[in-house]
Amino acid sequence: MTHDKPLGGTENLVTLDGDSIRKATSGMDLAQRIEGRLAYATDQRHISGLLYGAILRSSFAHALITRVDVSRALEMPGVHSVIKAEDVPGLNRFGIVIRDQPVFCDERVRYEGDSIAAVAADTPEQARAALDVIKVDYQPLPVVSDAALAEQQTALHGPHEEHGGSNLLARETLERGDIDDAFSRCAVVVEHHYQTPRQMHAFMETEGGVAIPDDKGGVLFRVGCQSGHRDAEQLADILGVDHEQVTVESTATGGAFGGKDELTVQPAAGLLALKTGRPVMIHLDRFESCRTGMKRHPVSVKMTTGCDADGRLLAHKVEAMLDTGAYASLGPAVLENYLDHATAPLYKIEAYRVSGRLVYTNNGVCGAFRGFGGNQATFAVESQLDALASKLDMKPTTFRRINLRSPGDAGSRNQTVRWTAPPANVLAAAVASPLWSLHGAETGRWLTGTGMAMGAQGNGLGDGLPDSGGGRISLSPAGRICVEFGFTDYGQNIVESITRSVCNEVGCLESDVEVVLGSSRGPDSGPTSASRSSVLVHGVLASVLPGWMDVVRGHAARLSGMAEEGLRLGPGGVFCNGQQVLSYRELAEDGNLEGMAANASQDFPVAPDSEHPVGRYLQLQIATVARVAVDRLTGRVRVTDLHHVTAAGRVIYPPGYLGQIEGAAVMGQGMALTEDMATRDGRYLADNLDQYLIPTFHDAPIQRVDVLDDTPEDDPFPIRGVGELGIEAVAPAITAAIEMATGVRVRRLPVDPGDLLVAMAAQEKTP
């Protein structure tokens, strides 16, 4: 098979290589992280009077609880307090979308990570020893372990509960055109089942942090999280205190990826802190994190897709089943995003019916995870396109080129869309990848192959969800330009991006800027999720900075006696004709800091049409080319190279952009090849990182990221968030490459080496 020649239109393509990274890297806080000087949420052991908490988890995946006896635990050495459901003064429930998860279960446990009681003691060992003597009587219930059967089985949530009475938590259908008519006109139709795994976030810092009580009945939380304001609201309701009595302060967080979006240890730590009047730290170990923590929704889907004899897509039908586990968390929003991506946003399809069901089971809890359902859908959609191309004996790249949308087209749901480059140009750059030159080669025991896939992703929370964010800018008493946002920093280079944006607008030095993040007392920027922070940061700064600079120049004019018109802000202070008139410090020392502060808030940009879905207005694209080597003896797959072409607006901070794409891609590789928290009868089969294998340095491929920036000069949203884009197209690119190497198309992830070998052997026997 030969491949297309470059299709042109790639002059705005820039490779983010080592040189561009070294030039741009800001040493800002890297050294303190390398030297171990930065304290993470679970490093805060210097707090005076600190107690350690531990949480009792369920012994069953599904059972009624008839008795919880904590009397012996209270007598154990070092124990200060033992609490259970009846000790929750406020609402014994939490959840971002639907509050259906108990802080402590009182009647029923629904997964093996459910909490029943918690202990605070002088040492972690004493706390854990006390858990061992809490007596719980259970009456086991039938375990709902298969999503496909869940709707016919015992309902996990009773009829009196919101969304209870049935294990069907949500269902939704997106439709366009007359699908029956469209299928009747297809020359080729392919139908396949796809399965994606229950991936674990596996952030290196497991869930944890400290709750510190004040002397007025309130609590300060310093816990790894993704949304200080939203957490503070839920925690106040649980603790039964006024909202202003709860403060959530952001700390350095050792990774999140969506897995810290929901409350984790905060409720138990806060309740114990109030009960004992002492600060309480809870830090889950990896075993407990695996057992209790959030996972990616496993999806089982049947897709039927057809096109005419020229390869034009006509009809597309999707029936998906998502297992959300015991509680809703963000499941309904994940379903919605899955379905959006299952409509194949990059391609024109005459008619589709895309439907999905979200069910409760006793298999852990699933929620937010980088990609948010989108990458699961893209895996299946892109595989369908390859299957149709193969039936027509057409190159997969040609097939895509025929069907890609043009920038002027409406989106897949008829909404207005802002692309930052024509999709055909992204494809053309991927077709020109050097990785194609060695396709289908054989080297001893290794079979090598190259494959590609594309993906689109919208920024923002999506349809119908309140989505706004605010920020504040001021001059600090020390004379630094202080920028505050409510976002949290868990390694996504947000501090560097904000600093770079301020420097670009103001013309100041990096050292002039101080970024303050993530306090629930500061501006509410909404959650740090959905690739939304960069867009909001840019929007807020663009709206607030010009006015703020005018105010500062006004102050400088009064102080210096010079005309305001001649003054401008620059490195270190205010300038006139290239000469510094006042430093920022001198301006600050004059006082009137309140007069030099400004707030701004903005709604997340949505499509300006009222009849259509409002989300997915700001669209990003990626094409990923993968080269793999398959071991003929073991069936193991090695990804040797990944080449990404991204069209995601302007690059503000190159190391951050590159790191997000590369990091997400390797996470997607893990999902494709090794990662699955498999369950049996509602129990996880793996409990630590020696069984659940995430990619190591030696598994990671050589990667190249080319940025295609055709963003129009006058685009009001030139900055887009790239935190999730890199994971979008990796898995289908890898399975396409495996197909080129072996002839076998894998539709169930992670790729099972044994199954792959069997399929390869079966194929050799077939003439």
Partner 1 sequence: MSDHYQVPETPAQESLSFELNGETVTRTAASAETLLDILRESGEITSARAGCRVGRCGACQVLLDGRAVPSCLVMAWQLPGHHVETVEGLGKDPDFLSVRDALASESALQCGYCTPGFAVSLVAGLRQHRQGSPVDLAESVAGNLCRCTGYGGLRRAIDQLSASCCPDEADGRGPSLSEEPL
Phi and psi angles of residue 452, each rounded to the nearest 5 degrees, phi first: -140, 160
Question: Does 249 sit near partner 1 (CB under 8 A)?
Answer: no
The DSSP string of 194-238 is EEE---B---SS-SEEEEEE-TTS-EEEEE--S-HHHHHHHHHHH
Q: Which of residues 477-506 bind partner 1 (CB under 8 A)?
A: 490-493
Q: Which of 36, 142, 408, 767 binds partner 1 (CB under 8 A)?
A: 36
Q: Which is nearer to partner 1, 594 or 690 (CB)?
A: 690
Question: Does 129 sit near partner 1 (CB under 8 A)?
Answer: yes
Q: Which of 11, 35, 310, 565 binds partner 1 (CB under 8 A)?
A: 35
Question: Does 25 sit near partner 1 (CB under 8 A)?
Answer: yes
What span, in angstroms and rounded, lies between the C-alpha atoms of 663 and 490? 13
Q: Which of 658, 671, 672, 740 binds partner 1 (CB under 8 A)?
A: 658
Contact between residue 479 and residue 588 where contact means Cβ atoms under 8 Å apart: yes
Q: Which of residues 693-712 bind partner 1 (CB under 8 A)?
A: 694-698, 700, 702-704
Q: Which of residues 47-86 bind partner 1 (CB under 8 A)?
A: 59, 76-77
Please tell me what DSSP assigns to residue 248: E
- Binding residues for partner 1, rule CB under 8 A, total 81
Interface stretch with partner 1, choices 20-28, 177-185, 394-402, 470-478 (CB under 8 A): 20-28
Q: Which of 49, 217, 277, 434 binds partner 1 (CB under 8 A)?
A: 434
Sheet with 246-248, strands from edge to edge, namely 79-84, 115-121, 51-57, 280-283, 208-213, 219-223, 246-248
User: 349 is written with which tokens?
Assistant: 């399809």
Question: Does 112 sit near partner 1 (CB under 8 A)?
Answer: no
Question: Does 279 sit near partner 1 (CB under 8 A)?
Answer: no
Q: Which of residues 281-320 bind partner 1 (CB under 8 A)?
A: 283, 285-286
Least CB distance from residue 176 to partner 1, whole Å? 36
Q: Which of 6, 14, 45, 49 binds partner 1 (CB under 8 A)?
A: 45
Contact partners, residue 43, CB within 8 Å, separation at least 6: none
Sheet with 637-647, strands from edge to edge, namely 13-15, 702-708, 637-647, 619-631, 446-458, 442-443
Question: Does 663 sit near partner 1 (CB under 8 A)?
Answer: yes
Q: Which of 6, 8, 14, 31 binds partner 1 (CB under 8 A)?
A: 31
The DSSP string of 578-624 is TEEEEEHHHHHHT--TGGG-EEEEEEPP--S-SSS--S--BEEEEEE
Q: Which is nearer to partner 1, 30 or 685 (CB)?
A: 30
Q: Which is nearer to partner 1, 241 or 707 (CB)?
A: 707
Contact between residue 380 and residue 194 where contact means Cβ atoms under 8 Å apart: yes
What span, in angstroms and rounded, lies between the C-alpha atoms of 26 and 656? 10
Question: Does 666 sit near partner 1 (CB under 8 A)?
Answer: yes
Interface stretch with partner 1, choices 203-211, 460-468, 516-524, 755-763 (CB under 8 A): 203-211
Contact partners, residue 617, CB within 8 Å, separation at least 6: 415, 416, 417, 418, 458, 460, 605, 606, 607, 608
Residue type, 469: G
Q: Which is nearer to partner 1, 77 or 595 (CB)?
A: 77
Contact partners, residue 222, CB within 8 Å, separation at least 6: 41, 44, 209, 210, 212, 249, 251
Tally of CB atoms within 10 A around 178: 13
User: 133 is written with which tokens?
Assistant: 């003597």
Question: Does 659 sit near partner 1 (CB under 8 A)?
Answer: yes
Q: Which of residues 392-421 bind partner 1 (CB under 8 A)?
A: none
Q: Which of 6, 14, 30, 161 binds partner 1 (CB under 8 A)?
A: 30
Q: Which of 1, 11, 18, 764 binds partner 1 (CB under 8 A)?
A: 18
Least CB distance from residue 623 to partner 1, whole Å? 15
Q: Which is nearer to partner 1, 70 or 552 (CB)?
A: 70
